[in-house]
Amino acid sequence: MPASGDVPTLVVRDSNGRQLLCFLEELIPLDGHDYGLLTPVDTPVCLVRIAKDDDEEDEVIEELDAAETILSVADVVLQEHDLTLVRSAVTLTVSGELDEPEHDELEDELDDDEDDESDLYEMLIQFRVEEQDYGLYIPLDPFFVVARLKGSEAVLVEGEEFDRVQARIEAELEEREQGL
């Protein structure tokens, strides 16, 4: 349902049956299929193992199934801030009212960091599990999802299909942008 007449939303399902509620940003017809470029309604986050010393680098944890204990602690910490961690399709998301960072604060944080990668994320929370620090980070760049639309359903485009259509979708979007 459209949120107050704005952008329509769709539920995207992945191959594991997990769901992610998204806004439909662009509709792209290719090869007789309609593809949607979508953005999550809730805030996407990634789980990061924070390095113990300066010699190491922070590590994004990709394999979330093995991190359930860590995610359970993140759940509790988020609940203290009236936020909820959602194990969605494609990415973890956080639902609830997030405070938007002040632009000056964000700039100061980014200027303080020497690591270029840190410029891509903002820390939402930090917590400790078994003597190891972890954080949930919000990507600062827009987070897009590609899905194949069929009627009222949206199926996440993954693997070979994604490899096949990604460049063509990007070219179509670039062409639309130049046409504006």
**Residue 118 pLDDT:** 52
- Report how many domains make up the chain: 2
Question: Would 109 be classed as within a structural domain?
Answer: yes
pLDDT over threshold 80, residue 127:
yes
pLDDT over threshold 90, residue 129:
yes
Q: What's the half-sphere exposure (Cβ side, CA atoms, 13 Å) at 85? A: 24
Question: Would 1 be classed as within a structural domain?
Answer: no
Q: Looking at residues 147-166, what average pLDDT do you find?
A: 90
Q: How far apart are CA 120 and CA 99, in angstroms?
A: 18
By residue range, what is the domain housing residue 154? Answer: 9-40+142-179
**Residue 25 pLDDT:** 93
Same domain as 172, residue 96: no
Same domain as 124, residue 65: yes
User: Cβ neighbours of residue 83 under 8 Å, at least 6 residues apart?
Assistant: 94, 95, 96, 97, 98
Same domain as 173, residue 106: no
**Residue 142 pLDDT:** 87
Same domain as 103, residue 65: yes
Same domain as 158, residue 87: no
Q: Is the model more confident about 151 or about 144?
A: 144
Question: Would 118 be classed as within a structural domain?
Answer: yes
Question: Would 90 be classed as within a structural domain?
Answer: yes
Same domain as 75, residue 19: no
**Residue 120 pLDDT:** 83
End-to-end CA distance of the chain: 28
**Residue 63 pLDDT:** 85
Q: Residue 127 corresponds to which tokens in the numbers above?
A: 């917590």
Q: Which helix (H) or strand (E) holds 178?
A: helix 159-179
Question: Would 28 be classed as within a structural domain?
Answer: yes
**Residue 112 pLDDT:** 47
- Digit-coded pLDDT (tens) for 5-56: 577 899 999 888 899 999 999 999 998 999 999 999 999 999 999 998 888 8
Same domain as 111, residue 64: yes
Question: Would 3 be classed as within a structural domain?
Answer: no
Question: Would 20 be classed as within a structural domain?
Answer: yes
Same domain as 57, residue 30: no
pLDDT over threshold 50, residue 62:
yes
- Digit-coded pLDDT (tens) for 80-119: 999 999 999 889 999 998 865 544 444 444 444 444 555 6
